[in-house]
Amino acid sequence: MRRSAKRRWADCPPYFLALFLMLSPAWAVQPDEMLADPGLEARARAISRDIRCPVCQGETIDDSNAPIARDLRIIIRERLVAGDSDQAVIDYVVARYGEGVLFNPPAEGANLILWLAGPVLLVAGIGVAMAAARRRVAPEASLSAEEELRLREILKE
Amino acid sequence: MVVELGHFALILALMVALVQATLPLWGAQRGDPRLMALAGPAAGLQLLLVGASFAALMWAFVVSDFSLAVVVANSHTAKPLLYKISGVWGNHEGSLLLWVLILAVYGAAVAVFGGGLPDRLRARVLAVQGLIGVAFMAFLLFTSNPFWRLATPPLNGQDLNPLLQDPGLAFHPPFLYLGYVGLSMAFSFAVAALIEGRVDAAWGRWVRPWTLAAWIFLTIGIALGSWWAYYELGWGGFWFWDPVENASFMPWLLAAALLHSSIVVEKRESLKAWTILLAILAFGFSLIGTFLVRSGVITSVHAFANDPERGVFILMILGVFTGGALLLFAARAGTMESRGVFSLVSRESALVANNILLSVSAFVVFIGTIWPLVGTMLLGRDLSVGEPFFNAAFSPFMVALAVILPPGAMLAWKRGSIERSLRGLVPALVLALALGALAFAMQTGRSALGPVGLALGAWVVFGALTDLWARTGREAVAARFARLSRLPRADWGKATAHMGLGVTIFAVAAMNAWKIEDIRVVQEGESFPLGAYEVRLDRVEEVQGPNYVSTMGTMTVTRGGALVAVLNPEKRVYPVAGMPTTEAAIDYGLVRDLYLVLGDRQKSGGWAVRSYIEPFANWLWAGAFLMALGGGLSLSDRRYRVAAGARKVPVGVPAE
């Protein structure tokens, strides 16, 4: 590890070591942030599970204990209490922190490549396999001289 | 002195690896048996030297030799011995030395157990293995030397990251590396076969045990990491689709695909080119994983740009090995003619479907992992990809895999009948659907995830049992039971591993669907309900640990007045590393874990307490264990032991 590593842990635990996991223990959602209305609170939790903590690479604001994550959780709840729809809340956060906070990149524009890569490859894979299978079913050529020899050897054994 | 000897041994090992990588290869090309015979002893010597080097580093950690930079950065005199030892691989330099050590172990294993291999193939496999060793030892010595001394040693070290001071994590890296590096064997065999231009049933039989071993280790390593995350990180999550986790998951998926396709090569002499490609890709993804983790490119592109030396080196290794092997593949794949013909409905086709699903799903994980990188470097956009994407884009492949597994596993080779294999599976299907319906009826107003996961998992488990039962023939029930114990271990292995997958699928769904969470402020002495349980925070006190200070809560859990458990969740502060950790207290159970976490003291007095009921958490680890056990059973099958010792391998395995 580099000497600066220690300081880095303190700033943002997820960066430490980057060994096998980049996560840190989380205290995350605090009791004092939570809304009394269980319906709104559930919506807030669902939204915050899709928003990345802007200063930590791999954590949602629901899991992160960074101060900014806490601020975001509170903002989300304030917007919900003010009567915003889920999408309006998400748009509000994206407008302030950029699209990088979305853990669920919308399937549009260049992100379509991300979303469609799997299905397209699946179809392509099935296509190739089918084509290969059809070719394979074609009548087998008779044994080559070398194979004939090997076969006789085997039968002798 | 010991450290210098270790350093010197590593340099010697590099020299030996250079010899191992070149002369036997040349000898195999020219047909010179003396040069080819060099490979075995060279591999043995390499193991000896790398082993000595590793032992020297371990010694430095155990005696806390703070003149070594690595020891200073990752150890401390007050640390327990176990973590002094695990500290050896708890850092970049040491973990790479472990990587190289394991590589040498595998190389030596081929030299010892590879007696049955044709001389040329053996020489070539060992040479490729040596080449990988050269690359990584050069990387180690030139960019990440663990034997670097400090001119002015400090009095004490900076301690190992406290999160890593944990028994689960102490053994997680060695297992993962045994898996990653084990795939280098499949790679070496693939490249050797490409150089020879020949792949046959015997090749499939030689490759499979190595892949199987690698896959078992990966399974255990991933499960240990997941278990560690579950109990250590303090919110009961077990999988986060974190880039570093993905880096180990992609090779696991591809190794699983490779295992299945090499069965087709072994039994039916088909899918040869594909299997070779898969072997190259599986190791390629191990290297990609190493690159992603080691270069820091994923955590921060800037970190990579500021210190590109290591990243570029690994990228070069990745490029040379994967690229080189793929070029060789492109040139030689045409010669890998398939012999076995099979119809669209056959075991072969089912295994092809398995391979497509596994490799496409690995690719989905891959693109999701590198997409933020693509966003920054090519699109100039800041993008993130997390759990919601993977849940939506990855899970369908696993669902499809689970759906086709039972009938596919029972299809006949060459030409099967879906109808016939489905007929045998009717009881399994009915049972699975009934369980799913039961779960649906019992839960109210929750997502369909739980019941569907249960039905799917049950389908796979009962399907595997049906498969096993079907292998006992058609006689009376008693006779069939008697035959059950005489079935080949490979059959048991297959059924066990498949059941493990079913159990895992169920547990993942159950944990996501039926988890109960409670977050609140609790005063000392106060109680609160958690599901059917009553939890009381008795007291909170300060406790001094060996190298940490703990704030420890005592909580009593009762159910209907009866005591269930007394648990002690802790918050620890490690003063040397200056880092806090949470130690959740868990009451493990057959159908649920009670999971309690102590948070911060509140201004109003009282403590923030998070409590969870984690349903069927133990089933997840049990499922992973069953998968690994299944692999182990299969590995211990007589056929491999026979194949390992015998020079002549029976040709023409009867189609079952």
Q: What is the CA radius of gyration of chain A?
A: 28
pLDDT above 80 for A98: yes
| CATH code for the part of the protein at A5-101 | 1.10.8.640
CB contact under 8 A, B652 and A136: no
Q: Distance from B476 to chain A by nearest Cα, in Å? A: 37
pLDDT band at A143 (very low <50, low <70, confident <90, very high): low
CB contact under 8 A, B296 and A18: yes
pLDDT above 90 for B134: yes
CB contact under 8 A, A137 and B343: yes
β-strand partners of B565: B557
**What type of residue sits at position A33?**
E
Are A136 and B415 a contacting pair, CB within 8 Å? no
Most confident range, picked from B77-81, B214-218, B232-236, B262-266: B214-218
Say what the pLDDT of residue B377 is: 83
CB contact under 8 A, B342 and A1: no
β-strand partners of B533: B530
CB contact under 8 A, A104 and B389: yes
Q: pTM, whole model, 2 decimals? A: 0.89
Structure tokens at B637: 């099958």
Alpha-carbon gap, residue B401 to A118, rounded angstroms: 15
pLDDT above 60 for A44: yes
Minimum CA–CA partner of A38 in chain B: B518
pLDDT above 80 for B579: no
Contacting residues of B for A98, CB less than 8 Å apart: 382
Using CB atoms, which residue from B176, B299, B521 is nearest to A31? B521
CB contact under 8 A, A50 and B343: no
Domain ranges across chain A: 5-101, 111-156
pLDDT above 90 for B266: no
pLDDT band at B240 (very low <50, low <70, confident <90, very high): confident
Minimum CA–CA partner of B609 in chain A: A31
pLDDT above 90 for B372: no
Which stretches of B578-652 are DSSP H helices? 617-635, 638-645
* H/E segment holding residue B237: none
CB contact under 8 A, A25 and B582: yes
Using CB atoms, which residue from A1, A25, A105 is nearest to B389? A105
Minimum CA–CA partner of A133 in chain B: B344
Q: Distance from A85 to chain B by nearest Cα, in Å? A: 19
Q: Distance from A114 to chain B by nearest Cα, in Å? A: 7
Minimum CA–CA partner of A6 in chain B: B577
Q: Architecture of domain B1-160 in CATH?
A: Up-down Bundle (1.20)
Mutate to test the interface with B, among A11, A21, A51 (most CBs of B within 10 A): A21
Are A54 and A101 a contacting pair, CB within 8 Å? yes
ipTM of this model?
A: 0.83
Scanning the structure block, which residue is given the tokens 């955590």?
B299
CB contact under 8 A, B381 and A110: yes
CB contact under 8 A, A117 and B363: yes
Mean pLDDT of the region A66-74: 86
Contacting residues of B for A39, CB less than 8 Å apart: none
Say what the pLDDT of residue B55 is: 96
CB contact under 8 A, A60 and B383: no
DSSP B148-206: PBPSS--SS-----GGG-SHHHHSHHHHHHHHHHHHHHHHHHHHHHHHHT---HHHHHH
Scanning A55-114 for CB atoms below 8 A from B yields 57-58, 60, 63, 98-105, 110-111, 113-114
pLDDT above 70 for A26: no
Using CB atoms, which residue from B368, B521, B600 is nearest to A114? B368
Mean pLDDT score of chain B, rounded to an integer? 87
Domain ranges across chain B: 1-160, 170-189+204-403, 404-514, 516-617
Q: Distance from A141 to chain B by nearest Cα, in Å? A: 10
pLDDT above 80 for A56: no
DSSP B537-554: EEEEEEEE-SS-EEEEEE
Contacting residues of A for B415, CB less than 8 Å apart: none
pLDDT above 50 for B633: yes
Q: What is the CA radius of gyration of chain B?
A: 27
CB contact under 8 A, B229 and A137: no
Mean pLDDT of the region B575-597: 86
Model confidence over B430-468: pLDDT tens digits?
999 999 999 888 886 677 888 999 999 999 999 999 999
Instruction: Compute the Cα dihedral for B496, B498, B501, B507 and give only its sign.
Output: negative
Minimum CA–CA partner of A20 in chain B: B244
Whether A21 contacts chain B with CB within 8 A:
yes
pLDDT band at A12 (very low <50, low <70, confident <90, very high): very low
Contacting residues of A for B521, CB less than 8 Å apart: 31-32
pLDDT above 90 for B100: yes
CB contact under 8 A, A118 and B363: yes
Say what the pLDDT of residue B89 is: 86
Q: Distance from A83 to chain B by nearest Cα, in Å? A: 24
CB contact under 8 A, B579 and A101: no
Model confidence over B460-502: pLDDT tens digits?
999 999 999 988 887 888 888 888 888 888 899 999 999 999 9
Chain centroid to CA B289: 12
Say what the pLDDT of residue B154 is: 86
The b/e string for A81-106 (b: 16+ C-beta within 10 A; e otherwise) is eeeeeeeebbeebeeebeebbbbbbe
Are A40 and A80 a contacting pair, CB within 8 Å? yes
Alpha-carbon gap, residue B525 to B555, rounded angstroms: 9
Structure tokens at B56: 């020297």
Say what the pLDDT of residue B304 is: 55
